């Protein structure tokens, strides 16, 4: 590719001279991306929707980011201008082994030659359910769909059907998809009825949760939660010591189900499920993103006692039994197990974040790293701004942070200003070294 990166810049320069020499890392321009975006705006509302587009405040400043990719391989993607990026977003999660992983793609291609979306399903569906039951600690069965939201919605319907109760408890800062029950009452098109049975409590606040159970005694169908708070635009928060076992006990006592939304974190923390990682057992657990390395499939797994409830629901979709994503998921989970993925991603995450923190410190900045290393969240502290009081709803303005992120992206390191990151198995030590070199230059440029 004409626009691909030059060889790795020298990393053995003495640190005292490191920031004075001319920039080694190219500064990217996005002329073709801009032209394509203009074309997109004519035929797609907001051009690109969701996190992957510029309309949600995700790209700040917007001219630092590429809009369209041309190709991807391993830990990298190339934009339509030919710029190569070391990708720390991984398509917001699905890329877990590296783009176009040969092992997954070969399994998928072999299934495709036989058939994908057929009137009678393939037995790959059974194989995948068996593998999930073997792999995920809280799984006695599996049900497959397409979106994370398909299975978070199924989990909530299951909880209501099983308990004959209405209320669902959410932790503030949650994200469980876009179906109306997951949205906020002040969002366009959402009705008060859609969220009439939603109860919101602060994350990690057991007393507030217990109070909600007391306030809605006998009415709570389930608590739905991500395994830790990885909301956007603020530092991520791991569960407080003893929080999850107390939540589990509270649900059991009240006869409510505990639903874990492992869509974002699933398989990156623990192949047995993020509930298992944090030492408790969910009743229902939702998987998507990392399940099949980008092939389109999601899964709800659950405990034996809920099997008949799920069997009795009206819940299906056109492509839900497609065989190619099942074959891809079988290969993806098998490889994740073989390589011991969570430990590898944790180690890579620590290397990246320790390196970034050190680079920040060398330039007189303080970089805050939160969440799990495999899904690290970054915030560059602005000396001109008051520090964020932990556990409050106060949101830092992030202006300095966003400028730094923009300098990183322009240097080929695809990071984000407001969202947790995602690591993939293909990220190499050379990629990490290039990342840290770019970080030094990005801090210099601030």
Characterize the bridge pairing of strands 220-225 and 298-302. unpaired
* Cα 170 from Cα 190, distance rounded (Å): 17
- Rounded least distance, CB 175 to a copy of itself, Å: 10
* Cα 304 from Cα 285, distance rounded (Å): 13
Identify which of residues 277 and 414 has a Cβ nearer to a copy of itself in the complex: 414
Which sign does the torsion angle of CA 260, 263, 264, 269 carry?
A: positive
Identify which of residues 14 and 45 has a Cβ nearer to a copy of itself in the complex: 45
**80 binds a copy of itself per the rule CB under 8 A:** yes
Q: Site size for a copy of itself, by CB under 8 A? A: 115
Interface pattern 96-135 for a copy of itself (x via CB under 8 A): ---xx----x---x--xxxxxxxxxxxx-xx--xx-xx--
| Segment lying near a copy of itself (by CB under 8 A), choices 60-68, 276-284, 393-401, 425-433 | 60-68
DSSP letter for 99, please. Answer: B
In this chain, which of 64, 75, 94, 417 binds a copy of itself, going by CB under 8 A? 94
**227 binds a copy of itself per the rule CB under 8 A:** no
Angle CA(133)–CA(137)–CA(139) in degrees, nearest 5?
Answer: 40
Give me the phi and psi of 284, to 5 degrees please: -135, 140
Rounded alpha-carbon distances, angstroms, from residue 227 to 232, 306, 342, 440? 15, 21, 15, 33
Taking CB under 8 A as the criterion, which residues in 248-307 touch a copy of itself?
Answer: 263, 288-289, 294-296, 298, 307
Interface pattern 143-162 for a copy of itself (x via CB under 8 A): x-xxxxxx--x--xxxxxxx
Interface pattern 319-348 for a copy of itself (x via CB under 8 A): xxxx--x-----------------------
Identify which of residues 8 and 316 has a Cβ nearer to a copy of itself in the complex: 316
Which sign does the torsion angle of CA 388, 53, 403, 98 carry?
A: positive
Identify which of residues 125 and 400 has a Cβ nearer to a copy of itself in the complex: 125
Q: Which two tokens stand for residue 39?
A: 């074309």
Identify which of residues 18 and 160 has a Cβ nearer to a copy of itself in the complex: 160
Q: Which two tokens stand for residue 318?
A: 């056109």
Among 319, 307, 318, 261, smallest CA distance to 288 is for: 261
Give me the phi and psi of 303, to 5 degrees please: -85, 155
What is residue 41's three-state secondary structure?
Answer: helix
**210 binds a copy of itself per the rule CB under 8 A:** no
**408 binds a copy of itself per the rule CB under 8 A:** no
Q: Which two tokens stand for residue 121?
A: 């399903």
In this chain, which of 10, 57, 180, 279 binds a copy of itself, going by CB under 8 A? 180
Taking CB under 8 A as the criterion, which residues in 14-33 touch a copy of itself?
Answer: 33
Taking CB under 8 A as the criterion, which residues in 342-381 touch a copy of itself?
Answer: none
In DSSP terms, 298 is beta-bridged to 145
């Amino acid at each position: 590719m004409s626009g691909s990166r030059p060889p790795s810049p020298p990393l053995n320069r003495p640190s005292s001279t490191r920031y004075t020499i001319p920039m080694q890392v190219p500064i990217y321009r996005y002329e073709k991306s801009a032209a394509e975006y203009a074309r997109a705006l004519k035929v797609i509302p907001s051009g690109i929707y969701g996190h992957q587009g510029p309309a949600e405040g995700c790209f700040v400043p917007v001219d630092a980011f590429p809009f369209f990719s041309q190709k991807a391989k391993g830990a990298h993607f190339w934009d339509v201008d030919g710029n190569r990026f070391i990708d720390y977003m991984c398509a917001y999660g699905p890329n877990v082994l590296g783009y176009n992983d040969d092992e997954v793609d070969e399994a998928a291609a072999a299934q495709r030659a036989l058939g994908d979306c057929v009137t009678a399903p393939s037995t790959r569906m059974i194989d995948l359910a068996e593998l999930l039951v073997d792999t995920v600690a809280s799984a006695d069965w599996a049900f497959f769909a397409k979106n994370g939201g398909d299975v978070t919605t199924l989990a909530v319907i299951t909880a209501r059907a099983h308990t004959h109760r209405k209320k669902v408890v959410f932790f503030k800062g949650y994200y469980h998809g876009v179906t109306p029950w997951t949205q906020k009452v002040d969002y366009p098109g959402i009705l008060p009825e859609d969220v009439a049975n939603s109860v919101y409590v602060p994350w990690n606040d057991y007393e507030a949760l217990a109070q909600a159970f007391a306030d809605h005694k006998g009415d709570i169908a389930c608590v739905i939660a991500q395994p830790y708070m990885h909301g956007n635009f603020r530092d991520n928060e791991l569960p407080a010591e003893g929080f999850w076992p107390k939540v589990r006990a509270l649900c059991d006592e009240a006869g409510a189900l505990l639903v874990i939304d492992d869509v974002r974190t699933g398989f990156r923390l623990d192949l047995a499920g993020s509930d298992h990682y944090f030492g408790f057992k969910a009743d229902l657990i939702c998987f998507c993103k990392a399940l099949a390395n980008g092939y389109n499939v999601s899964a709800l797994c659950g405990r034996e006692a809920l099997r008949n409830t799920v069997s009795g629901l009206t819940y299906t979709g056109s492509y839900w039994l497609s065989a190619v994503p099942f074959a891809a998921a079988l290969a993806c989970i098998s490889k994740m197990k073989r390589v011991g993925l969570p430990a590898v991603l944790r180690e890579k995450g620590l290397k990246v974040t320790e390196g970034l923190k050190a680079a920040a410190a060398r330039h007189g900045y303080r970089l805050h790293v939160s969440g799990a290393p495999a899904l690290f969240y970054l915030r560059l502290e602005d000396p001109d701004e008051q520090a964020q009081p932990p556990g409050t709803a106060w949101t830092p303005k992030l202006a300095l942070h966003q400028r730094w992120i923009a300098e990183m992206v322009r240097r080929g390191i695809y990071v984000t200003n407001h969202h947790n990151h995602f690591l993939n198995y293909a990220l190499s030590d050379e990629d990490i070294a290039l990342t840290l070199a770019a970080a030094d230059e990005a801090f210099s440029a601030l």
